[in-house]
Amino acid sequence: MGITFANPALAWGALAAAIPVAIHLLQRRRPRPHPFPAIELVRRSRERSARRLRLRRLLLLAARTLLLLFLPLALARPQLARDGELAAAAAKGPAATALVLDASMSMGWRDGRSTLFDKARDDLRDVLSSLSAEEPVTVLVCDGGAAQAASPSFDRAAARRALDEARPTFLPADLTACVHAAARALGDSPLAGKRIHVATNLAAALWRLDGPSPSVPTEAGEVRPDVVIEDAARGRELPNRAIVDLAIAAAPEIGPRGRAFAVTVRNFASEPASDLAVELVVGDEVVAKGFLEIPAGGAATKKLVYRFPQAGAVTGALRIGGDALAADDERAFSLPIPRDLRALVVDGDPSPVRYRDEAFFVEAALRTGGASPLQVTTVDAESLPARDLDGFDLLLLLNVRAPDPAIARRIADFVESGGGLFVSVGDNVDADAYNAVLADVLPRQLHLVKTAAQPGKEGRPASFAGLDTSHPILRIFSGAAQEAFLGARTSRYFLLQPGPAEGILASFDDGAPALVEGMRGKGRILLFTSTVDRDWSDWAIQTSFLPTIQQTAAYLSRTLEEHRPRALRVGEAQPLVAPEGVQLASARGPDGKERPIEGGQATGIDRPGLYRVLRADGSEAQELAFAAHPDPIASDMRRLEPRELEAWFGGDRLQVEESPRSRRRQETPFWSLLAALAVVAFAAEGWLIRRS
């Protein structure tokens, strides 16, 4: 209960009541006494008259003061106000009350100077102030974490403190779980009445109405509580546009270190979005910009490309034109740009006819581009001993005769130290010789050559069958894209010695391995059991060959993962692998606060943006920086229809309030009483003046 004014500005006129008092104080003069015996009798008589006159003047002062007080207050039209729904609830008797505050990211939607969260919290503060002394209360802040509510208590200060300390998060809240938790907490109160106030924006994505409605456990059985929805949106639509996805891929068409940023924006509104600006920011500079047309309730994708001038760890963001919910208008990223790579291609079957050369198609694929700038050096098998492998990141042996033991040892050392090795076979490869010198390097030992088909003879060429599209090399062939891979035909290929199924990336249709991966030390090896020219297979002229070779080169040199940053959502933990001999201390978030790194994971990722990893000595590990983004569910502001909640809670138990609580009050005006008192004061002043 409180006092409100219809014309609050006029209430300031009550300050005029101080005018008569000020005049009275200024006119008071105390006479200086002068003893004179002749008029002593006259003085005593006048003292008796002065006392009566002083009383009359004080009454006149009071009348004038009250007149100047009551008149402006009456014009301001004061009234006693009390929440109507609580007045009705009070008629039912006291009830244990739970206050549920929606603290999801969507409550950060800004309406002028305040957010929906501010309005929702003010609504619950009003509810708390209006509860009677007999009604215990509990507060549950629904912030995306575990929904737990304390037992109702009479500690109003603790409840108000919980509301004051609540802050909106960057997570989607589960309001269904929170309402159930509030109902369970109300079961701890012996009062028969049970009531839940939920202050929210009625975002449909935050409710799960396919389960049972909440009920309060009591000794007499389950009781359905009264539920009041305090609509912070005041019944309005809440339009929002959000970045819901960002895919970063190599863009070889613009040169080495080129990257393509495909950003998807969804329009959660009933009106289309026109000419929506999309910007690519690297560091603090806008390096690319485009515009989107998004239909109502739809989504659109914009591709922006940029060529980075140099290798290294870079940070930036994609952002769209701002709206009322700023948290989802920007998607930060941390992107390692790989260094220039060097590949040594050993051509085991050179040919003066270029397209018949063993290395022709592989060279063309490597020189075309890919995730990283690649410098390709091609030599024949006789020149390999003179080459220093330490200056290369990748070694490709294409139908090369078995090297002598000294060269084989150098190849093994190259792989152990982290180099990548690709091996393809052909007529120059002898299984026994390879197994003798490269047994420790090959993923599987070679067995014998199988001829599936020969020109002019019966037989059917083999085709690729089993593809492990979860592997980084073949991930691009998932779904319908497999058709580009499965169309290749192979007439001859090596069978391998039996071994574990792990590491087989592709097989032929008879089950024989086609692409096999292996590891040795820090290095990776990939074996292709046929040729990379057209002697044994036509895979080299299929559309799948070029991207597979490019992906293979990036994977074996450990740069494929570098241009695919992990999509980390707010609330998740970020795995971190510290370089050898380096101890990681913390991750500094976009708010400048540090989050702990424990067990190889950065935790406490509670807001979107860029996180920089700090070493134990305080320096920054730029290559480990990562970015977090909000869950797209938290951006969906489309509202739930009240009738859907009525069907779930029960129409007789639910009340949805779309107006501010200040407009839902029962008001009792008493300005007429003040006006009457002003008239009485005016009449009293006139009577006192006449008597004077």
Q: Between 327 and 32, whose confidence is greater?
A: 327
> Which of residues 653 and 271 earns the better pLDDT score?
271
Q: Final residue of a domain: which of 305, 338, 371?
A: 338
Q: Are residues 437 and 517 in the same domain?
A: yes
Q: What percent of the chain has pLDDT over 70?
A: 89
Q: Is the domain of 300 the same as that of 166?
A: no
Entry pTM: 0.71
423, 358: one domain: yes
DSSP letter (8 states) at residue 401: P
- For residues 611 and 648, membership in a common domain is answered with no
> Are 343 and 378 contacting, i.e. CB atoms less than 8 angstroms apart?
no
Query: Facing residues of 79 across strands?
Result: 4, 669
**Both 553 and 586 in a single domain?**
no
Q: Using one digit for the tens of pLDDT, what is the confidence trace for 19-69? A: 777 776 776 655 566 665 656 555 555 556 666 667 777 777 777 787 777
The count of domains in the chain is 5
- Residue 390, SS3 per DSSP: helix
Say if 528 falls within a structural domain. yes
Helix (H) or strand (E) holding 181: helix 175-186
Tokens 């989050």: give the residue: 595
Higher-confidence position of 480 and 565: 480
In a domain, residue 246? The reply is yes
Is the distance from CB of 597 to CB of 656 less than 8 angstroms?
no
- Identify the band that residue 432 occupies on the pLDDT scale cut at 50, 70 and 90: very high
Does residue 669 sit within a domain? no
The pLDDT score that the predictor gives to residue 28 is 62
Q: What's the distance, CA 14 to chain centroid?
A: 53
Give yes or no: residues 468 and 360 share one domain.
yes
Tell me, what's the pLDDT at 371?
Answer: 56
Task: State the pLDDT at residue 663.
Answer: 46
The pLDDT confidence band at residue 615, using thresholds 50, 70 and 90, is very high
Whether 671 maps to a domain, the answer reads no
* Alpha helices (H) along 263-393: 360-368
Range 555-576 average pLDDT: 81
Measured between alpha carbons, how far apart are the two ends of the chain, in Å?
Answer: 44
Q: Tell me the two tokens of residue 539.
A: 């895979």
Residue 70, pLDDT score: 76
Cα torsion through 41, 47, 48, 49, rounded to 10: 110
Q: Is 516 among the domain residues?
A: yes
For residue 157, pLDDT over 90 is answered with yes
CATH number of the domain that residue 164 is part of: 3.40.50.410
Which residues are paired to 296 by β-bridges? none
Q: How many CB atoms lie within 10 A of CB 518?
A: 19
Q: How confident is the model at residue 344 (pLDDT cuts 50, 70, 90)?
A: very high
Task: State how far the Cα of 438 lies from the Cα of 418, in Å rounded to an integer.
Answer: 17
Average pLDDT over residues 77-94: 62
- Burial string for 564-599 (b: 16+ CB within 10 Å, else e) reads bbeebbbbebbebeeeeeeebbbbbbeeeebbebee
Q: What are phi and psi of 14, to 5 degrees?
A: -65, -20
Helix axes 40-75, 18-27, angle to 10 degrees: 160
What is the residue type of 7?
N
Helix (H) or strand (E) holding 99: strand 95-102
In the predicted structure, residue 576 carries a pLDDT above the cut 60: yes
* pLDDT score recorded for residue 442: 93
Same domain, yes or no: 363 and 506 = yes
Check the CA dihedral 547-548-550-554 and report its sign.
Answer: positive
Q: Of 558, 588, 614, which closes a domain? A: 558
Across 61-79, b (16+ Cβ under 10 Å) vs e yields bbbbbbbbbbbbbbbbbbb
- 188 in the same domain as 167: yes
CATH code for the domain in which residue 260 is found: 2.60.40.10
Residues 405 and 379 in one domain: yes
> In the 8-state DSSP scheme, what is residue 641?
P
Domain check: are 283 and 360 in the same one?
no
> Which 3-state string (H, E, C) describes 193-253?
EEEEEEEECCEHHHCCCCCCCCCEEECCEEECCEEEEEECCCCCCCCEEEEEEEEEEECHH
Whether 665 is covered by a domain: the verdict is no
- The CATH number assigned to the domain holding 404 equals 3.40.50.880
**Is residue 664 very low, low, confident or very high in pLDDT (cuts 50, 70, 90)?**
very low
Query: Where does 418-460 have alpha helices with state H?
Result: 431-438
Question: What whole-number distance in Å separates Cα of residue 267 and Cα of residue 242?
Answer: 7
> Over 70: is that where the pLDDT of 668 sits?
no
Whether residues 249 and 345 fall in one domain? no
- How many other CB atoms sit within 10 Å of the CB of residue 386? 7
Q: Count CA within 13 A, CB hemisphere, residue 222.
A: 7
Measured CA to CA in angstroms, residue 433 lies from 396, 402, 408, 618 at distances of 18, 6, 11, 54
Looking at the structure, tell me whether residues 58 and 94 fall in a common domain. Answer: no
The per-residue pLDDT for range 297-315, each reduced to its tens digit, is 999 999 999 999 988 889 9
Structure tokens at 158: 């603790």
Q: What is the mean pLDDT of the chain?
A: 87
Mean pLDDT for 407-430 is 95
> Is the confidence at residue 90, as pLDDT, over 60?
no
Over 80: is that where the pLDDT of 588 sits? yes
pLDDT band at 501 (very low <50, low <70, confident <90, very high): confident
The pairing of strands 420-424 and 523-528 is parallel
Q: Is residue 563 part of a domain?
A: no
394-398 and 341-347 beta bridge pairing: parallel
* Residue type at position 347: D
pLDDT tens per residue across span 182-193:
999 999 999 999
Domain end (from 530, 558, 586):
558
Domain span at residue 317? 240-338
Closest listed residue to residue 686, CA positions, set 70, 59, 17, 72: 59
Mean pLDDT of 231-258: 90
pLDDT tens column, 112-139: 889 999 999 999 999 999 899 999 999 9
Residue 456: is its pLDDT beyond 60?
A: no
Q: Say what the pLDDT of residue 337 is.
A: 86
Domain-located, residue 650: yes
